[in-house]
């Protein structure tokens, strides 16, 4: 498939005079989303009222959207379910994995994992009792720490701070060799890089849709389970829509067949309508083409910044194959530098303690974007523009 990225860019409602390099935090608005949401509100909710669950197909959304995402993450049809938040899906996957291996008590993760994943794992261990433990090690110690006590290896495939990418296949194989299961967080992978859940024999995966997949703030999350595991899963959060016959209102839980057992409560219809529209754009592209374009843009940006901003240090892997679709540079005054960039129309973001972070999304980012962003960053660094007092104050979201 040959992708016309100029055509996909035209499908987004991007503000004029803004270079948006923060799709790894929140994707921009697809042009068709506003109309789709208006139709959902006015024609479906407004006119169909409660009959929309059947007439508009609201109840089927979690499964249908799951299958559409499955294509982007190398998963089989019928293995991905959409709904709830990423935190809830992490909890579901962890609890299910521990339930499958009742004689094991260790969740293994790394110290660079997204903190929320670690918090959820620790909270689950606390609930299960003192025999359960979250073991956190440095990246280089992961393989040595895997042993016969490990129940689950929980990793985020692409590091949220630096973009460093794990080898999913190699680590999953190592985990399986000691009898452990794997849980991969794809928050910075889905829509950013080709993911091969089936090929690598991953056991569980979770991810959000509001970053590269462009479903909008608060967009629903997804969960994947390997086909051979699905019908063995006993959901710890056993909601009524995961019941085999939810409208029979039985007081005893019996899970649905298939991945639908990982449904919990009422699906967020408006957010799923937005996700439907965003995925229409993804239906036009192939992830391998997206990856090639992403590597080209990120490599171009690194070269331009290093040539003009010697005080910035590359914090991401230089080898493009070892990073996702984002690039980070470090500087002690990273927060102020990013605020100065944003004030000049280049939107990236900051991650404590000292990283300025840029996401590359070929669906709407161009070479001109990258060249202009690097030029503006060079001006800020050359003239110490970040020293202005207005750039020192931190808002609630950094």
The reply to whether 139 falls in a domain is: yes
pLDDT above 80: residue 252: yes
The reply to whether 115 falls in a domain is: yes
The reply to whether 51 falls in a domain is: no
The reply to whether 311 falls in a domain is: yes
pLDDT above 60: residue 327: yes
The pLDDT mean for the chain works out to: 97
Distance CA 247, CA 237 (A): 18
310 CB burial (10 A radius; 0-12, 13-18, 19+):
exposed
Dump the DSSP string for 309-359.
-TT-EE-S-SSGGGB-SEEEEE-TTHHHHHHHHHHTTEE-EEETTTEEEEE
CB 184 within 8 A of CB 205: yes
The reply to whether 197 falls in a domain is: yes
Q: Mean of the pLDDT values across residues 340-345?
A: 98
Domain stops at, among 251, 282, 313: 282
The reply to whether 36 falls in a domain is: no
**Model confidence at 285, in pLDDT bands (50, 70, 90)?**
very high
Ramachandran area for residue 54 (φ above 0: left; ψ -120 to 50: alpha; else beta): alpha
The reply to whether 398 falls in a domain is: no
Nearest to 156 by CA among 324, 333, 269: 324
- CA 29 centroid distance within chain: 17
pLDDT above 90: residue 2: no
Find the domain containing 343 and state its range: 5-31+286-391
Radius of gyration of the chain (CA): 22
Tell whether 180 and 326 lie within a shared domain.
no
CB 157 within 8 A of CB 189: yes
In tens, the pLDDT along 105-148 reads 999 999 999 999 999 999 999 999 999 999 999 999 999 999 99
pLDDT above 60: residue 151: yes
pLDDT of residue 398: 80
Tell me the CATH number at 370: 3.90.1150.10
Tell whether 270 and 292 lie within a shared domain.
no
Tell whether 151 and 96 lie within a shared domain.
yes
Tell whether 23 and 146 lie within a shared domain.
no
Query: Which residues lie across from 20 on neighbouring strands?
Result: 347
pLDDT above 90: residue 3: no
Domain stops at, among 234, 253, 282: 282
Tell whether 123 and 230 lie within a shared domain.
yes
Tell whether 259 and 187 lie within a shared domain.
yes
Percent helix, strand and coil across the chain, each rounded to 5? 45, 15, 40
Long-range contacts of 142-149 (CB under 8 A, 24+ apart): 142/108, 142/110, 142/171, 143/171, 143/174, 145/108, 146/108, 146/174, 146/175, 146/177, 146/178, 146/180, 147/178, 148/104, 148/178, 148/179, 149/104, 149/105, 149/106
pLDDT above 60: residue 217: yes
Domain stops at, among 259, 282, 305: 282
% the chain with pLDDT above 90? 98
pLDDT above 90: residue 80: yes
**Model confidence at 397, in pLDDT bands (50, 70, 90)?**
confident
Tell me the CATH number at 75: 3.40.640.10
The reply to whether 50 falls in a domain is: no
Tell whether 314 and 238 lie within a shared domain.
no
Tell whether 113 and 160 lie within a shared domain.
yes
Peptide bond into 353 cis (omega under 30): yes
Which residues are part of the catalytic machinery?
Answer: 114, 185, 210-211, 357
Tell whether 9 and 136 lie within a shared domain.
no
pLDDT of residue 1: 57
Number of domains present in the structure of the chain:
2
Distances (CA, A) of 8 to 74, 276, 328, 358: 22, 16, 25, 20
Tell whether 312 and 236 lie within a shared domain.
no
Tell whether 228 and 134 lie within a shared domain.
yes
Q: Mean of the pLDDT values across residues 218-232?
A: 98
Tell whether 82 and 126 lie within a shared domain.
yes
């Amino acid at each position: 498939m040959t992708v016309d990225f100029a055509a996909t860019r035209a499908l987004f409602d991007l503000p004029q005079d803004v270079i948006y390099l923060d799709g790894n935090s929140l994707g921009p608005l697809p042009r068709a989303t506003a109309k789709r949401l208006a139709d959902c509100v006015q024609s479906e909710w407004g006119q169909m009222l409660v009959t929309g669950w059947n007439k508009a197909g609201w109840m089927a959304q979690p499964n249908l959207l799951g299958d559409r995402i499955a294509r982007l993450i190398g998963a089989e049809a019928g293995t991905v379910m959409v709904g709830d938040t990423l935190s809830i899906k992490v909890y579901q996957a962890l609890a299910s994995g521990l339930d499958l291996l009742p004689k094991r008590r260790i969740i293994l993760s790394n110290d660079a994992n997204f903190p929320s994943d670690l918090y959820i794992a620790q909270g689950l261990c606390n609930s299960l009792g003192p025999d359960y433990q979250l073991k956190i090690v440095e990246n280089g110690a992961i393989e040595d720490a895997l042993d016969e006590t490990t129940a689950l290896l929980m990793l985020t495939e692409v590091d949220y701070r630096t973009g460093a990418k794990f080898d999913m296949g190699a680590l999953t194989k190592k985990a399986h060799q000691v009898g452990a299961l794997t849980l991969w967080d794809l928050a910075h992978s889905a829509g950013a890089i080709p993911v091969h859940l089936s090929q690598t024999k991953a056991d569980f995966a979770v991810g959000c849709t509001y970053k590269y997949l462009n479903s909008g703030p608060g967009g629903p999350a997804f969960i994947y389970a390997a086909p051979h595991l699905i019908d063995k899963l006993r959901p710890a959060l056993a909601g009524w829509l995961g019941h085999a016959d939810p409208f029979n209102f039985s007081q005893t839980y019996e899970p649905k067949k298939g991945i639908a057992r990982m449904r919990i409560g009422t699906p967020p219809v408006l957010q799923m309508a937005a996700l439907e529209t965003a995925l229409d754009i993804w239906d036009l592209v192939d992830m391998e083409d997206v990856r090639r374009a992403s590597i080209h843009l990120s490599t171009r940006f690194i070269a331009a910044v290093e040539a003009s901003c010697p005080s910035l240090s590359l914090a991401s892997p230089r080898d493009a194959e070892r990073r996702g679709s984002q690039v980070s540079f470090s500087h002690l005054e990273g927060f102020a530098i990013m605020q100065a960039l944003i004030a000049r129309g280049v939107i990236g973001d900051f991650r404590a303690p000292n990283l300025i972070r840029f996401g590359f999304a070929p669906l709407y980012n161009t070479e001109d974007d990258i060249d202009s962003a690097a030029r503006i960053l060079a001006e800020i660094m050359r003239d110490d523009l970040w020293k202005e007092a207005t750039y020192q104050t931190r808002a609630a979201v950094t």
